[in-house]
């Protein structure tokens, strides 16, 4: 499944379980009983980066508005995952059947579901959404999810409430594919038919009137002020078919307000002041401040320290497509150079300084929390400045200029620019640690924190000459059944960030591309893990991105909220709660 900018395992099930037209949210997903719930009120949160778009077909970043209003976690389409078991269960579908050859899944869609404008949700909505996602010209981040070995996964409408997914090969990620959120065909269809991809890309910009944004999920946009606040309100149509075990419509909340703040420190200040309800502190200092405020009675809140390892990645990626600067392009395409840079990443310093000792080093694209997938024998190019200097000398950088920076035989200085998103204090600190370590061996790194939307635009750019040298960023999401991104590993993937030329430039990229397909089509879990282990070994040889470290997951919430997950569920995979089951208890 695709990943986005910053689950338990099993092969394809043989049959779904028929259910009622209403989806009943299991009480075991929350510590609260329906009798304890209070309706109404506002959930308050904060983010450190402004939003890029309301358009579900061009959003690529984690926590984007379309994902929020459609239901968020892990995909809630025809199927969703039960956080207590990790199993796929029917959601917008009431049941499914799988063909004997496991190449077709036929879903019966729940009747009675409506869009926020009152139109029925039917098979046409999935068909149109799929067509737009799979139009290469649209540039959807989900495009790659619908192909296996370049062959499309196709959708066929059987009738208004029956839809069939047809896979070109067996797919371990089959249900993850079916979890994509549908969008209204009556809104997007006419524009797509008349204006094609260009028309779609112009739709639902941040200037769109909130009343024009149609949702099938729990939230509607009430208002948006750039750089200040996004306010969502409950979608009554959602509650007509989403109920708790007592039959109460969901969500319980009336509103969900998301304040846009300048950085993580400002987010913490809002949480400590009791102005927002949710926080996931990443540093020991922030954790300490929250704990102290709780102990001193200044804040009525709960924090779960080290709930799990992180379910995301932090990494540095170099741009292989710099036709206007052949010197840098050659350098960035050298695995010896990238290995040297990995040796300059002081991961322990990052964990100690940035995360206060509460973090996990990373050497692989597999998130640390997915322990069953992490290859323990993957080669690691750990912090070793002497080895970095040796590798750089082998590349011809044996002398230093008058300023103490390495130069080659032609006098070209070893220098590049490094960017990350402004306001993400942890990434800024990581970058500064790297800049200092690089300088010690004579590598000049010019660091700049820039607007997140600008950063993402540079990263998603394609062609022979892209506008950046190196970026520190992260990924989240992905499938637990096959944790390698369909839009990251294949050479034509939307998030194949190091090389967006549209073709493999290194034989090991080709190997990874082929292994990705083998693993995704392998239904035997043990064999799939073996393929995943091999992929991690090749990743370590190629080192297309340099993984750094990530914070452990430390969810915190104001005790005015009820409805959090039981402790056994709380983790970076499932989060601290289902927003649909969250309520204001104080």
Using CA atoms, how far residue 517 sits from 215, 226, 511, in Å, is 34, 41, 10
CA–CA dist 302, 570 (Å, integer): 13
- Residue 226 three-state SS: coil
User: Given this chain, do its domains 72-201 and 309-552 carry the same CATH topology?
Assistant: no
Positions in the chain short of pLDDT 50: 7-20
Q: What is the b/e burial string over 308-345, where b = at least 16 CB atoms within 10 angstroms of the residue's CB?
A: bbbbbbbbbbbbbbbeeeeebbebbbbeebbbbbbbbb
On whether the CB atoms of residues 321 and 470 are closer than 8 A, the answer is no
Q: What are phi and psi of 427, to 5 degrees?
A: -65, -35
Give the DSSP H/E element, type plus range, for residue 489.
Answer: none
Q: What is the pLDDT of residues 335-377, one digit of tens each?
A: 999 999 999 999 999 999 998 888 889 999 998 888 899 999 9
Cβ neighbours of residue 61 closer than 8 Å, sequence gap 6 or more: 4, 5, 6, 49, 52, 452, 456
On whether the CB atoms of residues 318 and 329 are closer than 8 A, the answer is no
Q: Where are the domains of the chain?
A: 72-201, 309-552
On whether the CB atoms of residues 456 and 468 are closer than 8 A, the answer is no
CA–CA dist 496, 490 (Å, integer): 7
Using CA atoms, how far residue 89 sits from 4, 18, 259, in Å, is 23, 10, 33
On whether the CB atoms of residues 421 and 450 are closer than 8 A, the answer is yes
Nearest residue to 365 (alpha-carbon basis) of 144, 145, 503, 535: 535
Q: Which two tokens stand for residue 279?
A: 């926080």
On whether the CB atoms of residues 359 and 549 are closer than 8 A, the answer is yes
Nearest residue to 513 (alpha-carbon basis) of 484, 489, 535: 489
CATH number, span 309-552: 3.10.105.10
State the pLDDT at residue 13.
Answer: 30
CA–CA dist 10, 87 (Å, integer): 8
Q: Give strand pairing partners of 545.
A: 317
CA–CA dist 209, 141 (Å, integer): 24
Q: What is the DSSP letter of 182?
A: P
CA–CA dist 556, 89 (Å, integer): 28
Q: What is the DSSP letter of 363?
A: -
Nearest residue to 336 (alpha-carbon basis) of 381, 290, 383: 381
Tell me the CATH class for 72-201: alpha beta
In SS3 terms, 391-435 reads as HHHHCCCCEECCCCCEECCCCCECEEEEEEECCCHHHHHHHHHHH
State the pLDDT at residue 478.
Answer: 72
Q: What is the pLDDT of residues 231-269, one digit of tens each?
A: 999 999 999 999 999 999 999 999 999 999 999 999 999
Single pTM value for the model: 0.83
State the pLDDT at residue 3.
Answer: 58
């Amino acid at each position: 499944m695709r990943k986005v900018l910053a689950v338990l395992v099993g092969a394809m099930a043989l049959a779904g379980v028929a259910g009622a037209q209403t989806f009943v949210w299991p009480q075991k997903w929350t510590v609260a009983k329906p009798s304890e719930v209070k309706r109404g009120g506002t959930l308050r949160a904060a983010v450190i980066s402004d939003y890029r778009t309301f358009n579900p077909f061009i959003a690529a970043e984690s926590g984007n508005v379309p994902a929020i209003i459609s239901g968020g976690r892990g995909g809630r389409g025809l199927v969703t995952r039960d956080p207590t078991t990790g199993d796929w269960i029917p959601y917008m579908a009431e049941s499914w059947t799988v063909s004997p050859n496991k190449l077709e899944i036929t879903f019966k869609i729940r009747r009675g579901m409506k869009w926020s404008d009152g139109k029925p949700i039917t098979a046409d909505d999935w068909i149109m959404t799929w067509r737009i996602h799979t139009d290469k010209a649209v540039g959807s981040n989900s495009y790659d999810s619908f192909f296996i070995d370049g062959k499309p996964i196709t959708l066929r409408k059987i009738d208004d409430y029956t839809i069939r997914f047809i896979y070109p090969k067996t797919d371990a990620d089959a249900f993850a594919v079916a979890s994509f959120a549908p969008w209204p065909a009556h809104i997007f269809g006419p524009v797509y038919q008349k204006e094609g991809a260009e028309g779609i890309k112009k739709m639902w910009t941040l200037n769109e009137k909130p009343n024009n944004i149609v949702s099938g999920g729990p939230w509607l946009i009430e208002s948006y002020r750039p750089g200040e606040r996004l306010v969502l309100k409950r979608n009554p149509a959602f509650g007509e078919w989403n109920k708790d075990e007592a039959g109460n419509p969901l969500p319980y909340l009336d509103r969900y307000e998301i304040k846009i703040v300048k950085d993580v420190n400002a987010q913490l200040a809002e949480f400590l002041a009791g102005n927002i309800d949710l926080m996931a502190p990443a540093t020991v200092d922030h954790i300490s401040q929250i704990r102290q405020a709780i102990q001193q009675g200044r804040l009525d809140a709960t924090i779960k320290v080290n709930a799990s390892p992180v379910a995301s990645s932090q990494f540095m990626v170099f741009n292989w497509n710099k036709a206007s600067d052949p010197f840098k392009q050659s350098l960035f395409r050298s695995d010896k150079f990238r290995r040297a840079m990995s040796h300059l990443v002081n991961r322990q310093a990052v964990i100690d300084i940035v995360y206060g000792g509460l973090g996990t080093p990373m050497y692989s694209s597999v998130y640390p929390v997915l322990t069953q997938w992490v290859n323990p024998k993957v080669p690691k190019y750990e912090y070793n400045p002497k080895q970095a200097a040796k590798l750089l000398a082998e590349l011809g950088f044996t002398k230093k200029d008058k300023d103490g920076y390495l130069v080659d035989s032609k006098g070209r200085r070893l220098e590049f620019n490094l960017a990350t998103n402004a306001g993400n204090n942890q990434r800024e600190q990581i970058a500064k640690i790297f800049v200092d370590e690089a300088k010690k061996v004579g590598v000049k790194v010019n660091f700049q924190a820039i607007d997140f939307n600008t950063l993402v635009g540079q990263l998603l750019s394609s062609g022979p000459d892209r506008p950046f040298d190196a970026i520190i960023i992260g990924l989240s999401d992905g499938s637990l059944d096959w944790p390698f991104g369909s839009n990251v590993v294949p050479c034509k993937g939307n998030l194949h960030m190091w090389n967006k030329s549209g073709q493999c430039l290194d034989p090991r990229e080709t190997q990874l591309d082929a292994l990705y397909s083998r693993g995704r089509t392998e239904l035997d879990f043990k064999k799939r893990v073996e393929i995943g282990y091999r992929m991690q070994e090749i990743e370590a040889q190629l080192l297309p991105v340099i993984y750094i470290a990530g914070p452990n997951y430390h969810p915190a919430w104001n005790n005015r909220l009820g409805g959090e997950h039981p402790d056994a569920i709380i983790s970076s995979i499932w989060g601290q709660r289902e927003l649909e089951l969250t309520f204001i208890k104080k």
